[in-house]
Structure formats: C-alpha cells, structure tokens
Structure 1
C-alpha cells in the first residue's frame, strides 16, 4: 500500500483482525454493532445511576465507574480499527501507538482494581451490614475510584514509556488490531528478556493478587450466606453477587490466558481472539449482565420511561400495574 510505504520509517503498521479472514467486512460490521450496543448500554446505565435516587448507593456508584471504564476501553481500539479497515490505511504513528498502549493498559488495570473493590463492597454489605454505611461512605467510594484510576495510570505509564523506548529493527508490522506491549516488543532486536520477566511479574501482581482477594471475599460471603436462616435472605444475597461474579469471570479468564500462558503457546491469532473478547465483547456484556439481572436497574428503567410519557402518563401507569 502506498500510504504504508510512505510512513514505514516512522509509523507502525497494524495488520488488523485476522487479515486472512474471507468475509472480513461482515466481521467489521458485527464489531461495529457490538460497539454501538456497548456505547449505548454503558451510557444508559451511567445516566440511570445518575438520575434515579434509588441507585445512589455505593454499589451503583462503583458500577457507574465500571461502565465508564468499559465505555473508554472499547473506544480505544474499535474506532481506529474500523477507520483503518474502511480507509485502507493501516498505519499508526509512534505517538498514537504509545497513547493507545497507555490508555488500554490504564483502563484494563483500573477495571481489575475496581472489580476487586466491588467484591469488597459486596463482602461488607453481606458480612458486616450494620457498619456498611460507615465503611462504604461516599468519600471512601470516591477514594476507591481515584486509587483504581491512579494505580492503572501509574503502572501503565511505566510500561508504556519503557516499551516505547526500545529501538525497532524489524519491519514495523504489528500482527494485531491495536498496539499492545508484547506484540510491540517482538519488533525490537535488543535483549528484552529481563523486561519480559518484569511484565510477567507485574501481571501476577495486577491480576492474581486482585483475583485472590476477590475469591477470598466470596468465600467469606458464601460462608455467611450458609449461616443465614432465611431462604429469602440467602437468595437475595446471592442475587446481588451473581452479576459481579459473571463480570469477574469474563474479565479475569481472558486476562490470565493473555499474560500468563507459556511463551510457546502465545500465537498471534489466539492473542487477538482473547483481546477481542476482553476489549470489545466484555464492555458490551457487562451492562447487559447488570441490567437484566438487577431488579433495581429494571425498576429505574421503568420509572424513567413512565416519567417521560407526560401525554400518556395514565396509560403508562395502567400498563405498569397490569
């Protein structure tokens, strides 16, 4: 491609999502549909939590931050990938590549930390309900969110700056649909074994420690649920945790496979599939999981719909009660 030849000395070339796929236009259109659903789902959930006073609780405040992260995460990769496909240009500048790495890592780590804090919120609500309002005050929740974003940004800045400083001596073609640290490092001719080990160590710290804390929280939650006498209390407690457990599984499963598999099994195709699941499909699924499995969110949706029907308010109320 002419554009590629002109920029090969300074720009990277993103080879895209499975370039050998026969019906790539269909795949891109499906990804656009997923992107639209993800943007709408997360934006609506954020607005619901902001507008409905019944959702002004710590759990939903943290959920709104999760939706914000998902909204930003899917927007770091899909618009660029779709633009490259339809324009026929696959290049991305070195600065743009660094920015994409920084934001994707920041958002991924922030989501990891936030999911851990959300499990602590559920643990406090079920195992220590009398002190819940004190422990999970609005100020503490804001501090939790700030630390999640700050932890992601600082860790990401270190990895991005270090990965981008390596000189590139191979063809600057990245077999991926986005700039990613490990794919970028394969283009350098320097000995990066020490840095790769540091990436693996930080992956263990960022992924396994939060996952261990989440599992510990839910172990204590399930033990507390087993001690409950009321079957209604048990079902309500488990219902509030099921959505979060689904989201945790969707996030940590691919993350572990991406960063903690042996080097010999890290094929570009499998990595792309796992990244697509984590960075594209999960942001779409998260708001659906929380919306469809949460009575408070469904009630908030009905309330907003009824309040926006001034000309047919009586009819809306009748339909609501029937």
Structure 2
C-alpha cells in the first residue's frame, strides 16, 4: 500500500527544505505518494522572494499517513506568544489521530505551539534554541542533534538535517537497503546518526583587559602545551580556587571545559584547512594523541576526525 505524505507549505516557506520530502521519498520506488498543500490551496510566497503554485489545500492533511510541516521562519507573533495563528491551527487540526507528524528545522515551533511536542524530545535549529526553550518549557529540547525520533512525532534541525531525517524515516519504514539506495540516488551520505551534533560555531568570550581575559588570550596561543589550571592561575596571579571562580563567572564554563572546547575548535580548523595527519593535529592542539582527539571530537560533535574532514573538505 502506498504511504500518503502531505507536506504543508506555510507563508515564508524555505524552498530547499520544502523539496526534501519528495526528493528523498520519491526515490523509494513508488512506496510513497508526496503531496504539497497550502492553506486555501493558493500560491505561497517563499522566503526566497518568489511564489510557488500549490495544487492542493489543507484538506490533504486529513488523508495523510505522514504530515510534514516544511521549514518557515517563526512569525514575530509566534515568537512572542508561543501560539499558532488561527489558519495554521485549523489546518493542523485536520490531521487524523495516529498519523505521523514531522517538522523540519524551525517548524518545530509550529508543532510545539499546537501542543504536539509536550513531554517529548525534539530539536530545532540551534540559533533559535533559546527562544524555543523559553516558549515551550514542557518540551525536552535537544538543540545539538541533527534529528529526533520521538515515535509518532519527528523533528529535525536546519536544512540538510532534513535529508538525514527522511533517510531515517525510509530506514525505519523499509530497512537500510531501501534507505541506502535512495541516498545513492540523491548523492548524499546514507547515514548520519540523529545524535550527531549540529555544527555550531560557539563564539569565544572576548578577551577583556581585566579578570581572566588576558589569561584566556595567553592560553589561546599555547594550546599545544599541556596547560593546567595551576598554569592559568599563575599567569593571572590568582589562586587556583579564585581563578576558577572568576573564570566560570566570566565564561560560563570551567577552565578545563574551556580548554577542551578551544582545542576542539582548533582541531576543526586544521581538519578543514590542512592535510595534517590526525596524530599531528592532536599534537598541534594539545590533545597529545590521536585517540584523545578522536574521543573529544566525538563527545563534542558525534563524529570522527576523518568524517568531519570529509564533510568540510570536498575532494579530500
């Protein structure tokens, strides 16, 4: 039996994300029928500045086995109130009990505003994670992962993470062979674990002229050295206890956590921009061994050094 998928395109929809369900699921040899719909069945203005024609209205949601809310930026009203607009709420009320519901990227805001994520784990784009957590405290937000399968409801992070989610859906529905073949046809990686971290760039707190700022600046130029809290405290002319207290107050993390984070960031840069071996990068960043580098990169991002390098260096 063909599995019916209805993709809801709301105003401001992102064209790339809107096309992901059909692009992936249509490679499954007719196992899915993907229909795009809009509220009222009229054209939808995308966030790219052009309109798309849609042949179906929201009643398509009522017959669907899987409903997908394609990515759109949350409206100012939704970000302020945490409530959906009336047309969107009425459209999603048509979804039949038991239907699978999927959101990509920031459309998790829509699902959460309808109460569909209450008590469940979910993810969204990391850049709006703080807003999401503020508005929907009853949701178990996991802002660092690529996607979350909570059973009936599935959510993904930004852009290409939607591809990972729909390959996961294929794998869940029909097994690895079907999902891997679809991935080959789409020319994408067949498997990135949902628990893999989003590639978030976290800014380093500014190195001020007071407090621990000068010491952080000093340490950043010596990451290859076996720095200890005693070394950092001595540079700051503080006791270890006082230094640690000031450090946490200024950065939000402990000195050890900060050093590891900076070393991981340095390793990422070297993986992206050089042909250095993993062993050399481990030495350059102060991890000491390739094993330590692999362990810390996996904890931080959920990937190996080789996998990270392949992701960011085309042709490596």
**Interval containing the TM-score (normalised by the shorter chain):** under 0.3
TM superposition score normalised by structure 1: 0.25
TM-score (norm 2): 0.26
Q: Which has the higher strand share?
A: 2
